[in-house]
Structure 1
Amino acid sequence: MIVWQKPNAFRILFTLRGSVIPHIYLQVLLITLLSAVISAVQHWIPGSFPSYGAAPFTLLGIALSLFLGFRNNASYQRWWEGRCLWGQLVYDARSFTRQVLSFIDDDTDSGQRAQRSMVELTIAFTHALRHRLRNTCPWENVERFVAPEHHAGMRKAGNLPEYLLRLIGKELSRSRREQLTSDLMIQNMDERVTSMTIVLAACERIHNTPLPFAYTLLVHRTTYLYCFMLPFGLATSLGWVTPLVCGVIAYTFFGLDALNEEITNPFGVDANNLALTSISRTIEINLLEALGETDLPPELMSEGGYLQ
């Protein structure tokens, strides 16, 4: 995720990291070159292209803007919902840890083991959820927080985050059987586990449900058609300014299209996706600190304005 503390207007104007230019420069260059060729033909052979009014392009441009705007709203809504869900996960992890450490009897070895196990499983769940949403290998971040006897079952699990939540549920059940806390507190802690289950399901819904392909295809085709048709309608009236105008319009429309495509899946690793690694590290630090650990991993800092 791109994070700028104090944006500089000049720097923002020429920055490439986080920009959609690397994804669309070929399309913009193609439209600009096409416009230059059409302008040259119109200049050297006047009357090669009929003079059109601006009305058709204005109407089509308005329609295309509405399509792109609606798709932008849908994509941003998915991005923002993903951020709210991970904010909820931070709240649930901290609240569950506070409840475990406050209300489970730690006067016995069994109680202390239950506390550490559930807090570490919560950290493991956070990392496992991130890796599931990004389709990456989770074992390096997850296994060190899970007891060795569960490693074999963990590797066989089809849904690793859900498997870890089941392990937390078993620890709660064992705490109840051993009367390490009251039934009321078990119920309250289970509500936090249920909330984490809701976060998992909602993130999977966003991850596994793309925007309708037919709508995406319509926007793509309309954008290309409009940008390819535009130079023919502007060459007679704008002359050599046509490549500049068409290039700027192509950058705007292709840029919005590419940005929408990028943030449709907010859990990826692109520059404008959510900083899930940083959020996971924050949860890990907070929960280990609550356990009394002093050898904590460092907080992730932005590098070049980019936060993982």
Structure 2
Amino acid sequence: MIIYTPNQHWFKDIGHLARSWTMIKVMRAVLMIGAYTLVVTLVHNYIYEWSLREVSGLFSLLGIVLSILLVFRTNSAYDRWWEGRKQWGALVNNCRNLAIYCDVHLPQNDKMTKMIIARDIGNFCLAFVEHLRSGTVVEELKGLSDEEIALYKSKSHVPNHISKQIYQTIHDAYKDGRITGEDLRNSHLMHKALLDILGACERIKKTPIPFSYNVYLKVFITAYGLLLPFAMLTTLGFWTIPAVMFVFFAFIGVEMMGEEIEDPFGLDCNDLPTGLIANTIRENVLHLMDVPHEHWEKVPEKPYEKVF
């Protein structure tokens, strides 16, 4: 995710467009429509004169309709992005709450159980990040023995397995009399919230914008861009080229920005910083449960892709 300070660096923020993969795709499409408009303009001026000036008002009406569709498109995409951010904010809170609750209610001399719970909460978040991308990489989880790594690799849903391990550890403490039944019920609510958040993010990930709507909007934008030069040639002449490029830039740019943020858990430059959030949760939990620093393993942050 691009981190910036609002209302401070106007031209610096605009300059970042040159390094955005989405904007590079937009500019490629704009240059293609510009080349097409140039050809249409040359043919109109030197070979055959054509014009759709009589129906130019129709293009204004279609532009309004297209704008309304794009507003709906971007609002839907941003709702998914914001819902994802709220879920990860809830994950932060519930992981901290669970760590504090376990640390306080477990016996103070039960350091091993606290270390296991802290490790598993941190690994749950790390596994969660990659589960929403291309799949959990077990070797990137921390504090596991060779037997545990082999066991994790045999699981098709690693975050689910880790959440089961967390609850199993808490339940074992209850059976051994280290925590009370009330403690078990209270910790269950916080543990349940982790799976609720996991399910909500999977819903966002696995339910994209309907394909037919997505394709229809692309066809609409493409057809509008291809026909627009004919409605402007007689009035604008060679100025039709920059005019069409500017209109196409506005429409296709909004569409591609919506495409980028509708899946907020990847590694595009405007996706959520889930890796950073997971590392923050892990460090917070290790601090809260007083895990000695010699048991910490630094987790390298993956760079965002598609940023030049």
Q: Same fold (TM over 0.5)?
A: yes
Bigger drift between 293-302 and 22-31 goes to 293-302
Aligned to 1:32: 34
CA deviation profile, 1:255-304 (whole Å, cap 9, x unmatched): 11111111111101001111111101111111122233346667989999
1:170 match: 168
- 1:5 counterpart residue number: 5
Equivalent position amino acid for 2:59 in 1: F
Off by >6 Å, runs of 4+ in structure 1: 297-304
CA contact (8 A) 1:28 1:250 kept: yes
Is the CA contact 1:124–1:146 (under 8 Å) kept in the aligned structure 2?
A: no
Matches within 5 A, 1:205-224: 205-224=203-222
Q: Structure 1 residues 291-300 or 92-101, which shifts more?
A: 291-300
Tell me: CA distance 1:8–1:297, structure 2 relative to 1, closer, same or farther (3 Å): farther
**Are the counterparts in 2 of residues 285 and 297 from structure 1 also a CA contact under 8 Å?**
no
1:127 aligned residue: 126
Aligned residue pairs, count: 302
Which residue identity does 1:283 align to in structure 2? I
Amino acid at match of 2:165: L
Distance 1:19 1:11 in 2: 17
1:5 alignment partner AA: T
Alignment of 1:99 with 2:101, yes or no, is yes
Q: Which moved more, 1:12-21 or 1:65-74?
A: 12-21
| Counterpart Cα distance in 2 of 1:148 and 1:105 | 29
For residues 285 and 261 of structure 1, the distance between their equivalents in structure 2, rounded to whole angstroms, comes to 33
SS in 2 for 1:154: helix
1:114 to 1:147, Cα distance in 2 relative to 1, 3 A: farther
Superposed displacement of residue 139, structure 1 = 1.9
Shift of 1:149: 4.3
Q: How far apart, CA to CA, are the structure 1 residues paired with 2:126 and 2:301?
A: 18
Do residues 141 (structure 1) and 143 (structure 2) align?
no
> Is the 8 Å Cα contact of residues 3 and 302 (structure 1) preserved in structure 2?
no
* 1:195 has 2:196 as partner: no
More off after superposition, 191-200 vs 145-154: 145-154
When normalised by structure 2's length, the TM-score is 0.90
Q: Is the CA contact (8 Å cut-off) linking 1:123 and 1:287 kept in structure 2? A: yes
Q: Give the direction of change, closer, same or farther, for the CA distance of 1:194–1:50 in structure 2 (3 Å limit).
A: closer
- Separation (CA, whole Å) in 1 of partners of 2:238 and 2:302: 43
Cα distance in 1 for partners of 2:131, 2:250 equals 34
